[in-house]
Amino acid sequence: MDFFDRFAIPHPSPVIYASMVAIGLTVIAIVAGLTYFKKWGYLWREWITTVDHKRIGIMYLLSALLMLFRGGVDALMMRAQTAVPENTLLDAQHYNEIFTTHGVVMIIFMAMAFIIALMNFVVPLQIGARDVAFPRLNNLSFWLYFMGAMLFNLSFVIGGSPSAGWTSYFPLAGNEFSESVGTNYYMLAIQISGIGTLMTGINFIATILKMRAPGMKLMKMPMFTWSALITNLIIVFAFPVLTVALAMGTMDRLFGSNFFTTTDGGMDMLWANLFWVWGHPEVYILILPAFGIYSEIIPTFARRNLYGYKSMVASMVLISLLSFFVWVHHFFTMGQGALVNSIFSISTMAIAVPTGIKIFNWLFTLWKGKIKFTVPMLYSLGFLPIFTIGGVTGVMLGMSAADYQYHNTMFLVAHFHLVIIPGVVFAMIAGLTYWWPKMFGFMLNERIGKWTFWFIAGGTCLAFFPMFISGLDGQARRMYTYSEATGFGIWNMLSFIGALGLAAGFVLLVYNIYYSTRYASRDIGDDPWDARSLEWATHNPVPEYNFAITPQVNSSEAFWDSKKNGHTLFKGDYKEIHMPNNSGVPFIMSIIFFVLGFALVFSMWIVAIVSLIGIFACLAHRSFEKDHGHHISVEEIEKTEAEMRGAK
Amino acid sequence: MSHDHSLNPETMPHEPEKATLEGKNKFIGFWFFLGGETVLFASLFGTYLALHNSTAGGPAGNELFGLELVFVMTILLLTSSLTSVYAIYHMKNNDFGKMTLWFIITIILGFGFVGCELYEFHHYITEYGFTFRSSAFGSAFYALLGFHGGHVTFGLFWMIALLIRNARRGLNLYNAPKFYIWSLYWHFIDVVWVFIFTVVYLMGKVG
Ligand code: HEM
Ligand SMILES: [Cu+2]
């Protein structure tokens, strides 16, 4: 292809041109707005360069919501296209692009960002720390993720989106069958944000292992922190596999190597294996923090402590280990022998055991509890049955012989949505609602929140239950249309209506944020939920230094103990607090990463080499710079604390 | 940490690399980083093992590899690991000069290794037409070796930066963890090389 041809969209349509204009206008509006209100300096000093885990968490959160909408629009278009037989809203190529970007955006850029957002915000508070172990690395992680996400989304308007599925199997994803630069974007954008995720993993492991408040033994950590620890361990041991797979995919596409090609000895199944060696642990990276969130919310609103703390921890450890030994279940049909399939069938079904233990522990926690039906609790209660259905159908898929029937049908699509949505998405909204007052100092409106819940929960069921039926009837996934005679029409129409319900739910969520920001009371005290763990022992919203005095802990529900059993959390006087300085280098470095990614997508070697040098220069700069952080004086702490208390 | 804790023999803690919270964090963070790196190399080894017989009509390992050069490279890298141990030994005794000297010897050996490796690649390409593109075996070979060689090269420049940066500062609690962590990294790539030597060269020669 000619050099400049590559920048054009291969299959343009009015929608894409309209989006180009919309993106252009939005960018202009943002730039103009920031300039008009003179907010550039504020943005740079307080947010872009921040090393404060709370602010980084909030930036992750906003990006995740943004990506939720991008992915959501893709989803609506897919459901609209398949709502009736032989629809012509989208052609096959557009449909392929949309299911690809939907999957990638939702998993990599939405769900991952959302869990990392909540981990960032909550974990240091739950363990009584001032910040994460490597605050500046944390900023770099965020910006790498963000630049990766932007690079990926850019494919929509420059050069064309990837269309080989979020799993990007070779040889389909090779140059021969995916000619446009779309798959280059896939490889490089995920790579860049994956590097950020890996750093987050290391950062949080170090934080949780080394920076807990005095007295907080491992077995006295709040359950969300436990889930974060295990999740980050999985990240560190799973993401490098993706790094390697993506690097090799990139080289096949750009430099003509033969890892996954069908000629010169390449092995396309190698990609499938590497992808899922990362991919299955990845689904547990998403679900474990969600489990952690439910383990915080359920005891709080059942007003009982968590049933089976030890077995909760043990089952998470077991899940994390097993998750590395089941990957073949994603391609039972692709040519291994019966023995290999049987082994992986058994390991797959084994995961249901620790998962079941957790479900029962939550049920036992609810048993005889005085349940308060708040919004976070509603999501937790909705999660239990829907997730169980998703999990049980997972076990069905895990039986390799039966999977020949289910594989690549809508049945599979129903399975994973019915684990991921109640698992991850419900948990994220629940966690968001629950910790919102910690972040912003006011609560989200409960009434709108409940409506939102019913739309989202109802929408989920309506959108995905019909797929079990059409899937068993033989409707294949990823097909852009079907004939009238198949009889799939009715099920797909129901799905479409469900998807509209979900969409309405998300719109309500945003409306709730807007509404509560305007009207909610700011006078909520420090503990509006009557909660249990340490993050509630400081103010709402949390001051920069988190805790004026480092808390002393003697149980996993330290704050509850301090309220009910007279445990003293804060002993001693204020001392000067040492805090890290902000830095612009990570942001600059991430921009260079973005340029590097873009240059590689379009094979612009000189730009790529220059950016690589730039990245190394940033690294070197770090080791040559003098940065000792700054101190918050005792007077300042006294002043802040007095104000915070006075405001209540 | 906020202040420069310059060291003198009396205040020298037993393990200067872990004497501050920041040092401890770096230490544990780096171990997990190496855990991730282990998985990274494991994936590359897995790829190599899956593809090393796919020569697509080109030369196979036992026709290509000459053990003499590889032996020299192994000696160079293993010795450099030893010399970095000496350097850390002198760090713990707070002898900055000797530490620097041994680190310089370490990087000289490291450059020797990289030189040999470049020569080896050049040889394969010009004499045998064995390239990154010629077969799946070639892709896997150069990916694994290239990743490792890239790590060595990165390590060399990292140490050079550390030495320049701290040349006038002497040893303190701020930079002790940095030197120590570098030496961990260096041992790690050394161990990876031992695996490469066994899996790629020895098994390639026999198989
Ligand atoms: C009891 C637990 C589970 C079991 C036994 C299970 C089993 C399976 C099996 C066998 C498949 C492959 C089916 C096929 O391709 O034919 C699959 C696909 C999938 N599962 Fe699960 N699963 C479980 C839980 C989860 C959870 C908790 C998540 C996410 C949070 C999840 C996400 C997915 C995804 C995303 C796919 C499909 C990927 C694709 O092909 O695009 N699963 N599951
Ligand atoms: Cu799986």
Q: Where are the domains of chain A?
A: 1-285
Q: Would an 8 Å CB–CB cutoff place A566 in contact with chain B?
A: no
Cβ–Cβ < 8 Å for A248, B40: no
- Give the class (CATH, top level) of A1-285: mainly alpha
Question: Which of A210, A251, A624 is facing B25, going by the closest CB pair?
Answer: A210
The ligand minimizing its distance to the Cα of A334 is: 1
User: Residue A112 corresponds to which tokens in the numbers above?
Assistant: 């991952």
Nearest Cα residue to B136 out of A258, A170, A263: A258
Amino acid A131 reads D
pTM over 0.90: yes
Contacts for A406 with CB less than 8 Å, ≥ 6 apart:
A396, A397, A412, A471, A472
Nearest Cα residue to B198 out of B67, B69, B72, B79: B67
DSSP state for residue A45 in the 8-state scheme: I
Neighbours of ion ligand 2 (CB under 5 A): A 280
Contacts for A467-470 with beta carbons within 8 Å, 24 or more apart? A467/A410, A467/A411, A467/A413, A467/A414, A467/A417, A467/A491, A467/A495, A468/A393, A468/A410, A468/A411, A468/A414, A470/A410
pLDDT in tens, A183-200: 999 999 999 999 999 999
Asked if CATH classification 3.10.580.10 holds for the domain at B16-206, the reply, yes or no, is no
Sole residue written with tokens 């993506």 = A246
User: Residue A194 corresponds to which tokens in the numbers above?
Assistant: 């994956």
Burial class of A230 by CB neighbour count within 10 A (0 to 12, 13 to 18, 19+)? buried
B55 contacts A623? CB cut-off 8 A: no
Cα distance from N-terminal residue to C-terminal residue, chain B: 54
Amino acid A642 reads A
Chain A: closest CA distance from residue B203 (Å):
20
Coarse DSSP helix, strand, coil percentages of chain A, rounded to the nearest 5 percent = 70, 0, 30
pLDDT in tens, chain B (207 residues): 334 444 454 555 667 666 677 778 888 999 999 999 999 999 999 999 999 999 888 888 888 898 899 999 999 999 999 999 999 999 988 889 999 999 999 999 999 999 999 999 999 999 999 999 999 999 999 999 999 999 999 999 999 999 998 888 888 887 888 899 999 999 999 999 999 999 999 998 886
Distance CA A23, CA B119 (A): 51
Question: Which of B1, B37, B135 is facing A258, going by the closest CB pair?
Answer: B135
Mean pLDDT of all residues in chain A?
Answer: 92
- Return the residue of B nearest to A240 by Cα: B40
Which residues of chain A are under the pLDDT cut of 70?
Answer: 1-2, 646-648
Residues with CB under 6 A from ligand 1: A 167, 283, 286-287, 329-330, 348, 351-352, 355, 391, 394-395, 397-398, 403, 406-407, 412, 415-416, 419-420, 423-424
Distance CA B20, CA B2 (A): 11
Structural element, H or E, at residue A577: strand A577-579
ipTM (interface pTM):
0.92
pLDDT given for residue B41 in this prediction = 97
Amino acid A47 reads W
pLDDT given for residue A99 in this prediction = 95
pLDDT given for residue B12 in this prediction = 59
pLDDT given for residue A605 in this prediction = 94
Distance CA A453, CA A502 (A): 10
Task: Report the 3 state secondary structure along A354-382.
Answer: HHHHHHHHHHHHHCCCCCCCCHHHHHHHH
Question: Which of A202, A261, A623 is facing B165, going by the closest CB pair?
Answer: A623
B143 contacts A267? CB cut-off 8 A: no
- Return the residue of A nearest to B24 by Cα: A210
A258: chain B residues, CB-CB within 8 Å = 54, 56, 133, 135-136, 138-139
Contacts for A346 with CB less than 8 Å, ≥ 6 apart:
none
Burial class of B2 by CB neighbour count within 10 A (0 to 12, 13 to 18, 19+)? exposed
